[in-house]
Amino acid sequence: RILDKQLIVVNFLVDDLRFYLEIDRFSRLADSEGAAAPLNMQSEKYSSFLKKKLEVISKVFLNSDIPPKLRVSFEVYS
């Protein structure tokens, strides 16, 4: 389907939504860590958590073990 001059792969819509929501959550967490850093409230445990979350997002959506490797319509987010 084409929507607003962009090709939409219907099979990826659910993955696209999940990806968007996870990236939004990750972005908020990373922003909160950045805001807390000057207040010396940053912990190594929290940084480790964010790195693991980034790895999971990458493995599930951007470099999947299940073909195709890219599980989202990435051009929508670039």
CA distance 12 to 70: 10
| 78 domain residue, yes or no | no
7-55, pLDDT tens digit by residue? 666 677 788 888 888 888 888 887 777 666 655 555 677 778 888 888 8
Domain count, the chain: 2
Is pLDDT above 70 for 64?
yes
Give residue 78's pLDDT band: very low, low, confident or very high (50, 70, 90).
very low
Range of the domain at 28: 1-36
pLDDT at 45: 75
| 5 domain residue, yes or no | yes
Task: Evaluate if pTM is beyond 0.75.
Answer: no
pLDDT at 61: 85
| 8 domain residue, yes or no | yes
| 77 domain residue, yes or no | no
